[in-house]
Structure 1
Amino acid sequence: MHSEPRSGRLAAWGNALLAGLVPPDDAALAVVGDDAVHRVTDLPGESAPVGLTLALGRLRALGVSGLRVALPAPGHPLGLSGPPEFNARALESGEAVVCHGAGLGLVPEVSESGPAGDVHVEVVWHCLPVREAPPADVPSLGEAERELAEALREATRVLTRLDVAGSGPAAAAAIDAYRARTEGGAEVLAPGYPPRAVRVLELARRVGALVSLAYENGHGGAVSASEMAARGEALRPVERTARRAQVAAYNAYVEERERR
């Protein structure tokens, strides 16, 4: 969970564009980020793939008033509402964007080429019909914030007890270094999002970094199969909480708009 999901960038900057807070070209550049190019295919009214600037304008013309994020995982259709074809594509990708107001969704297909250190990344967003219904298992910002605080304490407690690399002062230093890299010169969310959404997303990333460090920094004392299984059991609910909070943060723009 170190990297920002592409669906999060598309939803956040797409929402800022729909709100009139950023110009189309700026929104498209922010979504593309370090990738080479993004295109959208199967968009209603377009016979061929189009660039993001045109695609976002077309979605607005089709009645889209907001963009939500889905981050599903096996057994957890987080942010999805159907139909099965869209859910299956989103689950395979691990992420998707659901358009509020038009019954459409976007699923990214990522292709990479080139040598290490000079990788060329292209993203094709496939546009498919979605069912307009409440998304699955998305908490409110308040719920997400409370769950994250508890998840951070629980993850640290359990991983320390299991003697897993990724807990303790070394992990804290690594997380702080990661945050310094990712936050330097970059906005956590696009303009228009409430401060609480920014706070929740920052905490979700911190929890996600802890989970990733626990998996990546060697085995620590967890050398047996049973200890490795215990680590997985400890991390799965924490990672699930962090994903739910990410979705709540990215979707806060649409939720606030609906409340108003």
Structure 2
Amino acid sequence: MISDPSEPRSGRLAMWGNALLAGRVSPDDAAGAITGDDAVHRVRGLPGEPGPVGLTLALGRLRGLGVTGWRVALPVPGHPLGLSGPAEFNARALAAAEAAVGFGAPYGLVPEVSGAGPAGDRHVEVVWECLPVREAHPADVPSLGEAERELAEGLREATLVLSRLDVAASGPAAEAAIDAYRARAEAGTAALAPGYPPRAVRVLELAGRVGSLVTLALTSGHGGAVSASEMAARGEALRPVERVARRARVAAYNAYVEELERGR
């Protein structure tokens, strides 16, 4: 499974939740940044609440219950990245391919995304399920320093794969994908919420570039220029690179908690 390079909702929740905990943003601003382009976010299963509540109330309640930081999990089958159990939470997070995990108190949030409204006027609603988590070090998450070193090698490997592609033979779709990648690289749009170290921003941006290269390599041959077996072999070769990019993204989002742990 190759993950989508777009920003995960759990990443938005973790980084803006951390900015709120650090006193860098207001509760309403944090909730607005987490919601983004979605219509509404609610939290279900919060202790003491009989039904779903809004993000502002939920984040405040979880802070009162002892959450002092938020981590991100981006698991895929065979790689429980960022998870620490128990089994029910891991299964829900794996089905969603992401989760936000509280630090300081045993609570985690898994998003359930749905569309609502008539055709032509659809909007996205997100319900975060609050579930108990095991307080333990998350699986396979590197430090920022480790992630940065791994990404440098991952970028070289992804670039080598791309260099072997016959872009002209792949058609206009591949050329458009390359143009989009170049625009992304030049723009350097990756950003984190206030309070994150510059190194985390750098790691997140590089992880996005590596992820985009992987996606480009896996899509540029479609349309007949590359056989199905060749595409499958390419995907297998790039799987370790995609894994590196995902680990680095989690490390960047988790940098706030990494600093909290270092200060203990």
The TM-score, its normalising length taken from structure 2, stands at 0.90
Is the partner of 1:39 in helix, strand or coil? strand
Q: Does 1:149 align with 2:149?
A: no
Identify which of 164, 174, 183 aligns with 1:177: 183
Q: Select the residue among 23, 33, 37 that pairs with 2:36.
A: 33
What stretches of structure 2 of length at least 5 have no aligned partner?
A: none
Q: Equivalents in 1 of 2:125, 2:188: separation in Å?
A: 21
Q: Which residue number in structure 1 is paired with residue 85 of structure 2? A: 82
Tell me the SS of whatever aligns to 2:154.
helix
Does residue 102 of structure 1 match 2:102? no
TM-score for the superposition, normalised by structure 1? 0.91
CA contact (8 A) 1:162 1:227 kept: no
Q: Which residue of 2 aligns with 1:229?
A: 232
User: What secondary structure, in the 3-state scheme, does the structure 2 residue paired with 1:135 have?
Assistant: coil
State the 1:179 CA deviation.
Answer: 5.2
2:258 corresponds to: 255
**Is it true that 1:240 corresponds to 2:243 in the alignment?**
yes
Across the two proteins, how many residue pairs are aligned to each other? 256
In structure 2, the residue matched to 1:191 is 194
Structure 1 regions of 5+ residues with no counterpart?
none
Question: By how many angstroms is 1:30 displaced?
Answer: 0.2
CA gap 1:119/1:182 in 2 versus in 1, 3 angstroms: farther
RMSD: 2.3
1:195-244 residue CA offsets vs partner (Å, 9 max, x unmatched)? 00000000011111112222333438863333122111122111111100
Say whether the 8 Å CA contact 2:191–2:204 is kept in structure 1: yes
Q: Secondary structure at the match of 2:110?
A: strand
Return the alpha-carbon distance in structure 2 between the equivalents of residues 135 and 115 of structure 1.
41
- Separation in 1, partners of 2:50, 2:248: 37
CA distance in 2, matches of 1:222, 1:232: 16
1:12 is aligned to 15
Bigger mean CA offset, 222-231 vs 52-61: 222-231
State the Cα deviation string for residues 66-115 of structure 1 (Å, max 9, x = none). Answer: 00000000000000000000000000000001001110110000001346
Please point out which of 109, 114, 136 is paired with 1:111.
Answer: 114
Query: Where does residue 75 of structure 2 map in the other structure?
Result: 72
In the alignment, residue 224 of structure 1 is paired with which amino acid? S
Q: Does the CA-based 8 Å contact 1:41-1:126 persist in structure 2?
A: yes
- Return the offset for 1:132: 0.3
